[in-house]
Amino acid sequence: MMELVLIIISAMFVNNFVFSRFLGICPYLGVSKKMDSAVGMGMAVIFVMTVSAAIAWFLDKLLINLGLEFLRTIVFILVIAAFVQFIELFIKKNNPNLYDSLGIYLPLITTNCAILGLVVLNSMLKLNFLGAVFHALGASTGFAMALIIFAAIRERLDLYDIPKPFQDLSIALVTAGLLSMAFMGFQGMVK
């Protein structure tokens, strides 16, 4: 039990996907201009990442048993793409309200390297099933948290008079750097 809690904390704070592993930077910079969209994207990532980690764990075992480890990348990305497509159709049919709030973020998730990155990491770290799922839960919550903090800062940045060359991408990157420095304070919390 303690081990699972440690996995979650380490994935959320110490090895935060955005600030220390550099995964999912594209949606992090792209979808953080408005608070609403940051929350929507965060929720979509938490859901997709946790479920794909569970599916991929079984597939990984299957591939290892068949001796086809070199097909990992292809199989994982196709499964994630198919799964995201399936959820999109499913939510559209069954829960239009949820679709309105999450719908536009789902296609973006396929090319979110955080999902594939987590699945590959799980298979590299050789975690067991529960470990893999909790790792995904912690990592995706950490991603959502980073996204929401950043969106809150960015909404305020709009009010300031920033030198022209620094506007948009550049100031966003520098802000992310400062945030990342703050997150380095968690280093060494979990061994």
Partner 1 sequence: MKENENMAWYTFKKGITSENPTYVQALGMCPTLAVTTAAINGLGMGLAVTVVLTLSNIIVSLIRKAVPKDIRIPIFITVIATFVTMIDLLMHAYTYDLWKSLGIFIPLIVVNCIILGRAEAFASKNPVHYAALDGLGMGIGFTLSLFLLGSIREILGNGSWMGIHLWNFKMFMFILPPGAFITLGFLAAFFNYLKIKKEEAAKAKAKAAKQAQAQKA
Binding residues for partner 1, rule: CB under 8 A, are 19-26, 29, 70-74, 77-78, 81-82, 110-113, 116-117, 120-121, 124, 163-167, 169-174, 176-178, 180-181, 184
Q: Where are the beta strands (DSSP E) in the chain?
A: none
Please write down the long-range contacts of 124-131, taking CB distance under 8 Å and 24 or more positions apart: 127/7, 129/54, 129/57, 130/4, 131/3, 131/4, 131/7
Nearer to partner 1, 10 or 112 (CB): 112
**DSSP code, position 23:** -
Q: Angle of helix 113-125 relative to helix 72-94, nearest 10 degrees?
A: 130
State the minimum distance, in angstroms, from the CB of residue 124 to partner 1: 7
**DSSP code, position 20:** T
Token representation of residue 101: 């709030």
Which residue reads 């980690």 in tokens? 53
State the minimum distance, in angstroms, from the CB of residue 170 to partner 1: 4
Nearer to partner 1, 4 or 29 (CB): 29
State the minimum distance, in angstroms, from the CB of residue 16 to partner 1: 9
Which residue reads 């909790």 in tokens? 134
As a whole number of angstroms, the distance between CA 166 and CA 183 comes to 23
Nearer to partner 1, 51 or 101 (CB): 51
Nearer to partner 1, 21 or 154 (CB): 21
State the minimum distance, in angstroms, from the CB of residue 80 to partner 1: 9
Nearer to partner 1, 26 or 62 (CB): 26
State the minimum distance, in angstroms, from the CB of residue 3 to partner 1: 22
